[in-house]
Structure 1
């Protein structure tokens, strides 16, 4: 498994960014594979100054190619992060790729990343293997332990609260693209689910510059072998009108938009007819104690009643089997019931101490023709919950 930034270019002398005192390298993160699809994916990587970049690929047999234009016909260019959408590949196909970065301002410099394997999703595969992280909150001990523990998989779902908040504008690359200095998408393409802490802070509005999604919105539906995956954005843990948000959020219309979208997305044949149906969202849709929160007394939602009210009927019609969430930092399994035909699996999170990974968990999902098993483990390997689901008829 690839690790660290060992292969990145060394810093060279240049004018620092405003307020900075240390020159940065041209490239500041590994190339991160996000938003995997059956026909491609998106690559994002950090840069230290205004640069342009593209993706080159090669495969056994000698075929090669290049991807590197944006929606307006420009080669991707930015002073913080470059993103390239790769399309036109075959489902379940493995190739090598690398990123090429060239400086636009300052000393002329070119950087070629190491070659890296990537495999597109295969909706027709008989099996699927995925992993889930959540509530890492920039905790480097947790991130290093998760990186060590998690094998190569078809998909890594980072299920929200990657950060604490975005009060510092320069933390996006180190938090999302090189967390604890690691290449987290090596051997495991990344699907990011937005959590409530990920939309907090002065600079939170820049999040979508660094997080790619298959359909360009923070919600999506796709197949990983026999598993239909729906990703939803539960927004904040208080109403939009709460004074702490200072009028800067609008999650109530976003939930309504997702409700409308969900009815159409789950009617697509590949999503409608999948043997297994899994939902990922950061804040649970169910919880152990559903007493209403007292927002005036610094209360907050342990589960998103607003999201459930918006999406429940569509999820039931679709036949969702399980919702996988984080947020509470308390592991829990709520089995299906007559009122809620879908189970709710809630993963743990690290303690508040910045160097402590205690109580953090990760989930491994394995789907075969006979069952889908989700196993929640602590970072020392102990099993907290194991849920097995039969294939739908």
Structure 2
């Protein structure tokens, strides 16, 4: 990445934490008049929000402020929700914490389901006696389980929001009235990972308010999500944020986690990362994926990855992505790559001797550069339209089946 682009990408990164309190300013007064804190009432902090890997199931997630026993009640009418699902257990033990993820299995294709989240507070957890407290439940919500064999699929992509939560509803409002199969977050939704409240305030709550109770989202990390003290806890707030593949309608989707843009030995990582090996592992997986019948028989093959496989500068991570992924994607005859990272929206058409597929890169976090990328695929045509934050169309690309 050249110096100008690098400077532009980092100019918006700001940080700081202001701490203060009356007791620090007037300790005598604070001792004489102690503040009595009431115990926080058991409640849902955020949710529900939906995620899926399009295999006939959907994951319902929510966060409570205290440990609990949780489940989801669901059915095909709001009056009758006879089914109950719990979080996935490990070693025979069901979850009993605050981060709730319940997978609803064996769903019918193209079927509308109603659901309600329920959590029961765990007041005391003794070896031979668990004491429960208040039981709370959410409102009745709904979603339509996707038909994997549908004739067309549509979704929108957001990327590089960088801790600007208002950008989520702002950009999604440009697509108001359209029903999408999912929303895709293509990395760098945050500057770095600080704590749980940041994840709630800067992503989950805006998503829940805008769409996530009824429409699922998919999410892959950008390089900024790998940074910060909370980066290793980040994945526990989502059903899935790593690399994967799935088929929906006429499209085979490949999601790659491109990791960091600097070399693993860079001092800022303090010998705590191994992204080179992680990318090599994904490349081996991708080489197997392009030989799968689901990949070969798809009308279109779309790759979603934060750092594009080309056109993002000379940083180590970018060059490693080119060396590892580009030859495999060329061999597999990928139809389209959607990326972010550079903070400059751009359409790069196929280039002989390089990428045999178009690479479309979403914009950055600042006003005038933010973008919403809309994708519609049928059995014969793949159409991409990109809007900037004023609603102006800044890119339009159409691909026909081969």
Which residue, 365, 376, 397 being the options, matches 1:350?
A: 365
- 8 Å contact kept, 2:54–2:148: no
Structure 2: how far apart are the matches of 1:22 and 1:147? Answer: 38
Q: Within the alignment, does 1:336 sit opposite 2:353 as a pair?
A: no
**In structure 2, what is the equivalent of residue 237 of structure 1?**
261
Q: How far apart are residue 177 of structure 1 and its match?
A: 2.2
What residue number does 1:7 align with? none
State the partner residue of 2:53: 36
Could you tell me the TM-score, scaled by structure 2's length?
0.82
- 8 Å CA contact 1:178–1:184 kept in 2: the answer is no
- Tell me what 1:127 maps to: 152
Contact persistence 1:38–1:122 (CA under 8 A):
no
Measured against aligned partners, the alpha-carbon deviations of 1:288-321 in whole angstroms (never above 9, x if no partner) come to x74x34xxxxxxx6x7221221222221222111
Does 2:331 correspond to 1:306? no
Corresponding residue number in structure 2 for 1:49: 66
Counterpart of 1:248 (choices 269, 272, 286) is: 272
1:114 paired with 2:139, answer: yes
Deviation at 1:247, TM superposition (A): 1.4
Which residue of structure 2 aligns with residue 285 of structure 1?
A: 309
Can you list the C-alpha shifts for 1:40-85, whole angstroms capped at 9, x where unaligned? 1222211111122112211049573121042324333213x21112
Q: Distance in 2 between matches of 1:115 and 1:270?
A: 36
TM-aligned CA deviation for residue 380 of structure 1? 2.1
**CA apart distance, 1:364:** 0.8
Q: How does 1:41-190 map to 2 (within 5 A)?
A: 41-60=58-77, 62=80, 64-72=82-90, 73-79=92-98, 81-105=99-123, 108-150=133-175, 151-179=178-206, 182-190=209-217
Task: Tell me what 1:316 maps to.
Answer: 330
* Partner Cα distance (1:236, 1:195) in 2: 8
SS in 1 for 2:123: coil
Shift of 1:122: 2.6
Q: Deviations over 1:116-152 (max 9, x none)?
A: 2223333311111111111112203312302423343
Instruction: Report the TM-score when normalising by structure 1.
Output: 0.83
Unaligned runs of 5+ in 1: 1-19, 294-300, 352-356
User: What's the CA shift string for 1:1-45, capped at 9, x where partnerless?
Assistant: xxxxxxxxxxxxxxxxxxx99947521112111133131122221
Moved over 4 A (4+): 60-63
Q: CA deviation at 1:367?
A: 1.3
1:169 offset after TM fit, Å?
4.7
Structure 1 contact 38–90 (Cα < 8 Å) conserved: no
Tell me if the contact between 2:73 and 2:85 (Cα under 8 Å) persists in the aligned partners. yes
Rg larger in 1 or in 2? 2
Matches of 2:107 and 2:196 in 1, distance apart?
A: 35
**What SS class does the counterpart of residue 54 from structure 2 fall into?**
coil
Q: After superposition, where does 1:264-275 map in structure 2 within 5 Å?
A: 264-275=288-299
Render the CA deviation track for 1:194-251: whole Å, top value 9, x for unaligned.
Answer: 11111110110011101222xxx70111112111110000000101111111112111
Q: Which residue of structure 2 aligns with residue 27 of structure 1?
A: 44
How has the CA–CA distance of structure 1 residues 68 and 134 changed in structure 2, closer, same or farther, with 3 Å as cutoff? same
For residues 173 and 386 of structure 2, what CA distance do their matches in structure 1 show? 16
Is the deviation greater in 106-115 or in 235-244? 106-115
Q: Which moved more, 1:45-54 or 1:98-107?
A: 98-107
Q: How far apart are the structure 2 equivalents of 1:233 and 1:183?
A: 26
**2:281 paired with 1:257:** yes
CA RMSD of aligned residues (A): 2.3
Deviation at 1:271, TM superposition (A): 2.4
